[in-house]
Structure 1
């Protein structure tokens, strides 16, 4: 017998090695705590990127206005320092707690949205009235906790009806879920916030999709969404300018299209690897709202295509983890809530990034976990804490966590008498 030529054997060994590596990666994805660690890892990496880019995008303007380049960074770091412990505590709560808290969160959010419309309390910016002012520069955007309230309330409502086998009638799918969603949408619409209105509707559709609503119901709701969006666009001149600017990007370059033009220029100027952290031009007042709505453009300018792909990859992994949790948990409430939270965060990211790269009109929605702002950051971190709590209830997750032992944060809570019982 003669040995096979080396040139013929090498490709076979290479293919076998690639198959072994692929099998190793797939085995990692099949582990019980995969979703848990993906949510934690993606969240922390996006927060770190966000803090870095908030500093880079705001340093020049803040130095000019306040005398310190670190003003917005310090505020954002404070909100992160508040939000992360809240996320950790939320992850340790039993599922029943979320079902109990869903109703007061929903009621408080509706009350906050109503108070925004009261003259003297509501603060306007960018054509929308979104914030409650408490003096001393402290503001709250009630529409952000309203998203969390709608997810938990809607999930609990549909889970109860599914347990009672009431969802065979399409009316039970909509009542009282549709009136509750409609009330939030109405209050948000009165504040002229089209972007949040669309996200609320997406959460509503996600809940209906998970519960198995018929196609005709989706078509009807989508028609209603399109009608309301059209009304909101027509009645507000600044939205019409944004829409016409999106349709005709070469028109009005110093007016309606200025922000989008500058954003795409900054994004494109980054090349493959960017101009370097702190080396971008956007911070020199060339790009409006570079630390909030258009932070993705600043990131692309300074970190290049590689940086933007990392952000897209992190949101993609977060979407995978959230939907994996929804698929693996057995409880209908957890399945509904996990899907709603995942769709909320990911769709908001898609809408923000889509506006920056000019495939969607500008809506003023921030990039979750990355853009500056505590009103959006803290509810998002709490929602991700809910996802972590659900991830612990995937098959085999409890045993894996018990074998690993409590983490340092859990031990501190236990010493303080605040740990789970």
Structure 2
């Protein structure tokens, strides 16, 4: 196993395989978990699946484009993506343009049933901009000074956090904070600096939670097993536990979930992992966890083996984003963390979350291809395949020519 993992192309194939498997399994579960919700709104059962499948097709295109782009072009896209995301996040706060969903003002209507959540693209923008910024400062040997490590990275991240918190989206703010910590950690921030930023962010977060009864209710529902009556704050958390508990070892089978018939809110978005546990059982949920673990470990390997500082910072940021969001989502479903309202990456329903995440996976694929050993292995594999095929063809032709005419 160790020898297999140390091969040059292992991380490359693991990122491709884990990313596509999570997305494919997510499409299956979106179809299963959303059928009842679609019927409740008098829509065809496959309504949400069709939208997610269309987003997955677009995301696959973005993944392929990102995986083939050179690193210089990724760096060139950092500022346009960040500025575009900030512009859209400002538009969200303008009455008549921004829309509120679930109590959070963080959506823009694109016409008809299509909605856009700009904060999801803000995560990608922060990673690319932060990685480019830190890489340029490292080239100038400035990261040994605290002020150059923090400015303007931390003020820029706080600007994004402010725009997100204006809409009340605490869950996305948590993930954005995790990305900031991931960038600082990858840049080699000293423990005192890291702890200081963490304390400040924790104090601000505690204040925001304490002053919001809705957020306090979510904290009180950690580990709750009593759903209460209709509209009770712990209804979703308790029924998520019920779904997981009734799944057993191998689940009740695809489409056979009971909780998705109305007891479990947001069954196809934030709590899709609970439906997966009910229908696929412990074996299914452990498989999903293993795929996320493999994707995260491969991302860490790419960040650790590269000599390009931008690749190291960007790979570390993307890996932190996907793994932290998966931990927050799954932890909420298991009753170990408060419900943050964030989707499971690549798995939950939602095109706004799927598109930038698939582009980020494409970044990891491109970075894995840029490793010197991986690049050499890919360069040797292509001409080698053609040479071996040519030798086999010539050998077959010689054997045919040497046979007597009656045996041909």
TM-score (norm 1): 0.88
> Residue in 2 aligned with 1:365?
342
Paired with 2:204 and 2:233, the residues of 1 have a C-alpha distance of 23
Paired with 2:37 and 2:299, the residues of 1 have a C-alpha distance of 37
2:65 pairs with 1:92: no
SS in structure 2 of the partner of residue 290 of structure 1: coil
- 1:5-25 per-residue CA deviation (whole Å, 9 max, x = no partner) reads xxxxxxxxxxxxxxxxxxxx2
> Residue in 1 aligned with 2:271?
294
- Verify the 8 A CA contact 1:54 1:372 in the aligned structure 2: yes
- 1:146-179 per-residue CA deviation (whole Å, 9 max, x = no partner) reads 0011001001101111110112210111111011
> Residue in 2 aligned with 1:341?
318
Structure 1 111/391 Cα, relative in aligned 2: closer, same or farther at 3 Å?
Answer: same
SS in structure 2 of the partner of residue 171 of structure 1: helix
Structure 1 318/253 Cα, relative in aligned 2: closer, same or farther at 3 Å?
Answer: farther
> Residue in 2 aligned with 1:385?
362
2:162 pairs with 1:162: no
Deviation of residue 58 (structure 1)? 0.9
> Residue in 2 aligned with 1:3?
none
> Residue in 2 aligned with 1:413?
none
Paired with 2:274 and 2:90, the residues of 1 have a C-alpha distance of 34
Specify every segment of 5 or more residues in structure 1 that has no aligned partner in the other structure, as ranges: 1-24, 407-421
Deviation of residue 247 (structure 1)? 7.1
> Residue in 2 aligned with 1:400?
377
2:14 pairs with 1:38: yes
Deviation of residue 251 (structure 1)? 7.7
1:149 pairs, out of 121, 125, 128, with 125
1:79 pairs, out of 43, 49, 55, with 55
- 1:299-341 per-residue CA deviation (whole Å, 9 max, x = no partner) reads 0000000000000000000011000000111101100100100
SS in structure 2 of the partner of residue 362 of structure 1: coil
Paired with 1:281 and 1:121, the residues of 2 have a C-alpha distance of 38
SS in structure 1 of the partner of residue 99 of structure 2: strand
Structure 1 157/361 Cα, relative in aligned 2: closer, same or farther at 3 Å?
Answer: same
Deviation of residue 210 (structure 1)? 1.1
2:23 pairs, out of 43, 47, 62, with 47
Paired with 1:65 and 1:216, the residues of 2 have a C-alpha distance of 52
State the number of aligned residues: 382
- Verify the 8 A CA contact 1:245 1:251 in the aligned structure 2: no
Paired with 2:229 and 2:189, the residues of 1 have a C-alpha distance of 44
- Verify the 8 A CA contact 2:224 2:237 in the aligned structure 1: no
Specify every segment of 5 or more residues in structure 2 that has no aligned partner in the other structure, as ranges: 384-408
CA RMSD across the alignment:
1.4
> Residue in 2 aligned with 1:207?
183
SS in structure 1 of the partner of residue 313 of structure 2: helix
SS in structure 2 of the partner of residue 156 of structure 1: helix
> Residue in 1 aligned with 2:212?
236
Deviation of residue 234 (structure 1)? 2.4
TM-score (norm 2): 0.91
Structure 1 203/316 Cα, relative in aligned 2: closer, same or farther at 3 Å?
Answer: same
2:356 pairs with 1:356: no
